[in-house]
C-alpha cells in the first residue's frame, strides 16, 4: 500500500481525478462506490460502467436483494489497493472503470421496470462501454440481455447458479426470477447450444438444450477441468456472464433468497472464473446477494470478488 496516499486519500469516489488507478483510502471510511471508482454519469471514454440494479420484486422466496448493490459496494472497499491476484495485470489502472450509480425506477410500477433497465443498459452500450451490473434478483439479466442482443445478436450465456432458471413460462410479460432464461431462449436472445450453466443442483425436466456442468461434476472433476469444458463450448462467441451468488454453497454465501446445499466453494468459483480467461465476454452481472440473511457480510464479499473477476474477464480480451 502507498502509505502517503493512504494518509491523504478520502472520498475517492468523488475526489479522484481519473477513472484509472488504484485507491488507497481507508477501507472503513469515506464515501462508498464500487472499488472506489469515480461516481459519474459521464460515459465519455469509459470502458466499463459498473451499475446497481436494486430490484427484488421477482423473487419466489426471500426478498432483500434490493439491498445487494449497496452491500457489494461496501464489501468492495477491501479490494482496490492492489491488482487482483492471479491475473498478471491491473485492469483498474489499464482501463477506465466507473461507478455509474444505480438504475432509477418506480418501485410501485413493476411492469415498467424491464423497459427502464433495457434502456439504461442500451445507453451504456451506445456510449461504447460495457456494463457490469450489481443485482438485485436474477430477473434483471433478462432486460439486460435484450440490450446486449440488440447490439451483438444472439449471445452465448455463461451462467453460474444453483437453478437453471429455464422453467416454462410463455407469458413474456411475467416478471419472475426463475423463468427468464426460458424466455431468453424462446426469444432468440441466447443460443442454448453454445451456452453453459455451472453449479446446477435443482431439477428441471427441460433444460432447452443448454449445456450443464452441475455442481457434482465440478466437485468430482475439478474446477480447472470445468473451465476448459466451458471454453470449448463458448469458443469465441460474444458471451454474457451472469453469476447468481447461490451458485456458491450456503455455508459460504448464506445471504441469498433461495439457498441450496452442495454448491461450489469460493475457491472453485475463483479457479473457474480465472481459467476461462480469453472468452469473448461482452458484459456481465452478479445477482441475488441478500444482505439481511448474512450479518457477517461474507456473501457481499463474495459478490464483490465476483464482480472484480468479471471486470478482469472483460479486460483480459480487450488489452492492447
Binding residues for Mn(2+): 138, 161, 163, 165, 244, 246
Three-class DSSP category at 51: strand
Under 8 Å between Cβ of 113 and 176: no
| Structure-block grid coordinates of residue 218 | 465440478
Q: Cα 91 vs. chain centroid, distance in angstroms?
A: 16
Annotated binding site: 138, 161, 163, 165, 244, 246
* Distance separating alpha carbons of residues 19 and 127, to the nearest angstrom: 16
String of DSSP letters for 133-165: EEESSGGGHHHHHHHHHHHHSSBEEEEE-SS--
Residues 253/47/19/99 CA torsion (nearest 10 deg):
-40
Closest CA to 307 of 279, 292, 285, 281: 285
Q: 88: which DSSP letter?
A: S
Let me know: does 255 contact 298? Beta carbons within 8 Å. Answer: yes
CB-based contacts of 29-32 (< 8 A; 24+ apart in sequence):
30/77, 32/70, 32/73, 32/74, 32/77
Burial (Cβ within 10 Å: 0-12, 13-18, ≥19) of residue 152: middle
Amino acid at each position: 500500500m502507498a502509505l502517503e496516499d493512504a494518509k491523504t486519500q478520502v472520498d475517492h469516489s468523488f475526489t479522484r481525478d481519473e477513472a484509472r488507478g488504484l485507491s488507497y483510502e481507508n477501507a472503513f471510511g469515506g464515501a462508498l462506490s464500487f472499488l472506489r471508482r469515480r461516481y459519474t454519469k459521464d460515459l465519455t471514454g469509459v470502458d466499463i460502467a459498473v451499475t446497481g440494479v436494486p430490484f427484488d420484486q421477482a423473487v419466489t422466496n426471500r426478498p432483500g436483494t434490493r439491498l445487494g448493490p449497496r452491500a457489494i459496494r461496501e464489501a468492495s472497499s477491501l479490494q482496490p489497493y492492489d491488482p487482483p491476484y492471479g491475473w498478471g495485470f491491473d485492469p483498474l489502472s489499464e482501463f477506465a472503470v466507473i461507478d455509474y450509480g444505480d438504475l432509477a425506477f418506480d418501485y410501485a410500477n413493476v411492469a415498467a421496470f424491464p423497459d427502464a433497465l433495457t434502456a439504461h443498459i442500451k445507453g451504456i452500450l451506445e456510449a461504447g462501454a460495457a456494463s457490469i451490473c450489481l443485482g438485485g434478483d436474477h430477473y434483471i439479466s433478462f432486460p439486460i440481455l435484450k440490450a446486449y442482443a440488440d447490439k451483438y445478436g444472439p449471445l452465448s450465456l455463461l451462467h453460474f447458479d444453483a437453478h437453471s432458471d429455464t422453467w416454462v413460462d410463455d407469458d413474456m410479460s411475467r416478471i419472475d426470477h426463475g423463468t427468464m432464461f426460458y424466455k431468453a431462449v424462446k426469444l432468440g436472445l441466447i443460443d442454448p447450444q453454445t451456452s453453459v450453466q455451472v453449479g446446477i443442483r435443482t431439477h428441471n425436466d427441460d433444460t432447452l438444450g443448454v449445456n450443464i456442468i452441475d455442481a457434482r461434476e465440478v466437485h468430482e472433476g475439478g474446477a480447472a477441468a470445468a473451465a476448459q469444458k466451458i471454453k470449448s463450448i463458448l469458443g469465441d462467441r460474444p458471451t454474457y456472464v451472469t453469476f447468481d451468488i447461490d451458485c456458491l454453497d450456503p455455508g459460504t454465501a448464506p445471504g441469498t433468497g433461495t439457498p441450496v446445499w452442495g454448491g461450489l466453494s469460493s475457491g472453485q468459483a475463483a479457479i473457474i472464473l480465472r481459467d476461462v480467461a480469453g472468452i469473448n465476454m461482452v458484459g456481465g452481472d452478479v445477482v441475488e446477494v441478500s444482505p439481511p440473511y448474512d450479518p457477517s457480510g461474507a456473501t457481499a464479499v463474495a459478490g464483490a470478488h465476483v464482480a472484480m473477476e468479471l471486470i478482469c474477464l472483460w479486460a483480459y480480451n480487450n488489452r492492447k
